[in-house]
Structure 1
Amino acid sequence: MAPPPPPLPDDVIPDILLRVRPDDPASLVRASVVCKFWRRALADPSFAARYRVLHPGAPPVLGFLYRPEDLQVTRFAPTSSFRVADRPMGHPLDCRHGRAVLYDYDIRVQGFVVWDPATGAQCDAPGRHVPDVFTNVAVLCAGAEGCDHRACARGPFIVAFVGVENPEKYYLDAHASFYSSDTGEWSVHINVHLNYDRYDLVQDRQAALVGEALYFVGEDRSLLRFRYGIQRRLPGIAFLTAGYTSDHILSVIEPPPGGKLLGDVVAMEAEGGGLGLASLSRGRLSLWARDAGHAGDDAAGWVLRRAIDLGAVLPVGVKPKKRLRGAHLCGIAHEAGVIFVSTKDGVFTVKLGSPLQGRKVSDVANLKHVFPFESFYTEAFLLKMASGR
């Protein structure tokens, strides 16, 4: 019998572990239990710093949250080797910058919860009894400008609440407010008259964060823009004395021509920057961008940038048009530029860029809304491991 190979020199172990892909955190978990030396190497703060340098760019998509039809629970579908820590019960509402926000129906909570799927850490969000008018919610990092969102799940956050109500027969009111964990305070509650009866929001549809504004999709494919950044800079009633009015902060952007003929719509950051829109109709994915030189909020400001035949991109097998009939544009991983499409055969993703990359990521079928989880899970894991928990 041949003798066992000699052990690897200690000084090369960290270099080998650095090569573990960010979308394969399970390999680091297994490596951490090999021996005490490997565990110490992974827990060393210098390892995390080197890992960041070696793996630049957007965080990987580790999976997505969804709510099974007719159930008030959160499920996680992995698209990598990552598996979530213990999750709260409840209804998922948004997932961004390494955090998720849910409405927890547990009798001990019965309110909004901000949760880190990587570590299992969670805290009660404010507004246990927020007004019923707030139908859509978004969570986002409130860290310093230029944050790369690699470790901001441990920093301050904002939970934004928006909604549309119909107090009278002939007009709607749009409302918005947000809570900052950094200050422990709410912003001013803003509301504006829309004067139309067609601007209801699509509940549970992700908002897009572009610059200092959140964009929520309406039932008629219009976008409700909440410029939360103005309120952050001018808290309280200061924005009134600075020349701002409520319709500067909360306003409607008309959709591209075609309205409901666009099919499913998600707001996004356009390729190259600025506000964008993805629409899916009859197996055709259209990518729109808002013309930066267009001053108004009407439909004329949209430009069609790309039209993609999903049947030629997604591995749906024979008769792609039939397979994609009834497909839903159910979500988007904003930082990674990955669009999620749900069909009767499961969930598929389209990685934007050149070339386009399509793949099947889950057998869960006919989902209307998913919330992709993007995170450098390895860093959260290393922090948790270093603390001895």
Structure 2
Amino acid sequence: MYACVFLCFWGNMSHSWALLGHLHLTHTPVHYSTSCLLLQSTLSCEECAAAAAAAFIARSRLRRSQPAGPLDDGNLLAEILLRLPPQPSSLPRASLVCHRWRHLVSDNGFLRRFRLHHRRNPPLLGCFSERRLELSFMPMLEAPNRIPAGRFSLQLDDIRLAPAAQGGGLVMPDKGFSVLGCRHGLVLISIPSWNQVLIWDPVTGDQHRIALPLGFDAKKTYITGAVLRSAAGDAHHFQVVVVCNDIQHTRVVACVYSSETDEWGNSISILIPFYVTGRPTVLVGDSLYWLLAVGGILEIDLKRQSLAVIQWPMDKGTFSLMRAEGGGLGLFFLSDLGAQLWKRKTDCGGVASWELGKTLELNELKTRSGLNSLTIVGFAEDNNVVFLSRGSTFFMVQLEPLELKELSEVDNWCFYYAFESVYTAGMGICGGHGGAEHLHNA
């Protein structure tokens, strides 16, 4: 039977708290109501203190006797939060639940584990491109995951690069530069005047400058390259691959740098039918691939430190390298009839050949003025996306499932380097920046 009590907090207030403790201790259900019977405690001060202490002990024992909930286990909670989607707004949202969650998701150790856990499925944050004397970032995601165009700023020689007039661009020094590639959250930039390459992490701001190996002169010959994290998702070490054509464009020389040894390896070379282009590379397994200007693809096997040339499946056309469905090397071939997805396969005898996979009609693009006016300007290897442009119009084609999105007006003469990374900086917690922006309009 319910004991309905209305407590008047007059006189010695400890009388009333003691009565509450006594009722809790005796497991008497208490219901507060203004229409209840007015009950005045008559306990002495000593009795009040004893009853309050007994109530506190009873509540402590009751809490200890109750089984802990799943989210009370810090290790289990961390494992659950690790599996949040790798979108920029995921951790800022989780940090708003309570102080405990906020403390956990802002821990540097947890952030490293979060990035490592999602290293194979990073979101496409945007693209970097070089336009005249500026390095521009074009965001791809919608709010609340959209990264502001001016968020990724680069510093060279302790000179902060000023945003360009239209926003989102960073004016480069007049020393000249060339973006060579983006991968695993890193950007590789060539600075010919310094005969160096710069490895830049836009999220953390870290940068490493490396002098090119002996025999490579970026001021005299064209240099291209690629960057990648070391095996097993090691966030502290990376590799840089640079490729140089000779003056006659008949031979290519490559060299690999490892941050673990802080040294360049031995140079390797191979005869080629034509020069290596500056288009973005694709990483498949332990091999990197570059398109040649005519007739083929250059393969660099990083484990074996060897070079090979692979022929195209057809003599001419507009190609882009990509990862094939299910893994392996793939090609995106564009014609006025549509797009074809090709895959490199190896039979049981070890003989490799090209196999035609899917054919995409791209009807929406056809109706706008045909496909022959489209140019392939980049791709995102982890998200299976190809970037196309027609004049100043930029399209993003998601291949699986097929989805077309028109993004913005851009320069039609430059390549776009996809920046795919797990963005955990600027969460708006522990003094960080950016959390409010990510959660705006959420």
Shorter-chain TM band? 0.7 to 0.9
| Structure 1: tracts of 5 or more residues without a match | 1-10, 232-248
1:116-144: per-residue Cα shift (whole Å, max 9, x none)?
11122211133188334452110011133
The amino acid across from 1:375 in the alignment is S
What is the CA distance between 1:87 and its match in structure 2? 1.7
CA pair 18-113 structure 1, distance change in 2 beyond 3 A: same
Could you tell me how far apart the structure 1 residues matched to 2:113 and 2:197 are?
A: 36
Q: 2:154 matched to 1:87?
A: yes
The amino acid across from 1:359 in the alignment is K
Q: 2:217 matched to 1:131?
A: yes
Could you tell me how far apart the structure 2 residues matched to 1:141 and 1:338 are?
A: 21
Q: Which residue of the partner structure matches residue 183 of structure 2?
A: 96
Could you tell me how far apart the structure 1 residues matched to 2:213 and 2:123 are?
A: 32
Kept in 2: contact 1:136–1:162 (CA 8 A): yes
Q: How does 1:288-327 map to 2 (within 5 A)?
A: 288-293=342-347, 295=350, 301-312=353-364, 319-322=367-370, 324-327=371-374
What is the CA distance between 1:292 and its match in structure 2? 1.3
CA pair 157-386 structure 1, distance change in 2 beyond 3 A: farther
Could you tell me how far apart the structure 2 residues matched to 1:162 and 1:56 are?
A: 26
1:92-151: per-residue Cα shift (whole Å, max 9, x none)?
11000110011247x8x663110111122211133188334452110011133xx3xxxx
Match of 2:399 among 349, 352, 363: 352
The amino acid across from 1:139 in the alignment is V
Q: Which residue of the partner structure matches residue 5 of structure 1?
A: none
Could you tell me how far apart the structure 2 residues matched to 1:42 and 1:272 are?
A: 33
What is the CA distance between 1:277 and its match in structure 2? 1.1
Match of 1:376 among 422, 428, 437: 422
Q: Which residue of the partner structure matches residue 77 of structure 1?
A: 138
TM-score, length-normalised on structure 1?
A: 0.72
The amino acid across from 2:187 in the alignment is A
- Matched residue of 1:377: which SS? coil
Q: Which residue of the partner structure matches residue 250 of structure 1?
A: 307
- Matched residue of 2:303: which SS? helix
Kept in 2: contact 1:99–1:139 (CA 8 A): yes
1:294-344: per-residue Cα shift (whole Å, max 9, x none)?
7557xxx211111212233xxx6x93234x442111111111111111222
Could you tell me how far apart the structure 1 residues matched to 2:213 and 2:97 are?
A: 44
Match of 1:22 among 86, 94, 115: 86
Could you tell me how far apart the structure 1 residues matched to 2:134 and 2:190 are?
A: 9
Kept in 2: contact 1:65–1:373 (CA 8 A): yes
Q: How does 1:1-389 map to 2 (within 5 A)?
A: 22-25=86-89, 40-44=103-107, 48=111, 58-68=121-131, 71-80=132-141, 81-83=146-148, 84-88=151-155, 89=172, 90-104=177-191, 111-127=196-212, 130-132=216-218, 133=221, 135-144=223-232, 147=233, 152=234, 154-167=235-248, 172-194=250-272, 198-203=273-278, 205-231=279-305, 249-257=306-314, 259-260=315-316, 262-263=317-318, 265-282=319-336, 284-293=338-347, 295=350, 301-312=353-364, 319-322=367-370, 324-353=371-400, 355-378=401-424, 380-381=425-426
Could you tell me how far apart the structure 1 residues matched to 2:186 and 2:116 are?
A: 23
- Matched residue of 2:103: which SS? helix
Could you tell me how far apart the structure 1 residues matched to 2:377 and 2:304 are?
A: 30
CA pair 155-50 structure 1, distance change in 2 beyond 3 A: closer
Could you tell me how far apart the structure 1 residues matched to 2:257 and 2:112 are?
A: 32
TM-score, length-normalised on structure 2?
A: 0.64
Following TM superposition, the consecutive aligned residue runs of length 4 or more in structure 1 with deviations greater than 6 angstroms are 14-20, 29-38, 52-56, 384-389
| Structure 2: tracts of 5 or more residues without a match | 1-70, 156-171, 434-442
Q: Which has the larger radius of gyration?
A: 2
Could you tell me how far apart the structure 1 residues matched to 2:212 and 2:97 are?
A: 45
Could you tell me how far apart the structure 2 residues matched to 1:200 and 1:55 are?
A: 36
What is the CA distance between 1:50 and its match in structure 2? 8.8
CA pair 85-372 structure 1, distance change in 2 beyond 3 A: same
- Matched residue of 1:229: which SS? coil
- Matched residue of 1:319: which SS? helix
1:54-75: per-residue Cα shift (whole Å, max 9, x none)?
979611000000112xx14311
Q: How many residues align?
A: 328
Give percent identity, aligned residues only: 31
CA pair 19-272 structure 1, distance change in 2 beyond 3 A: closer
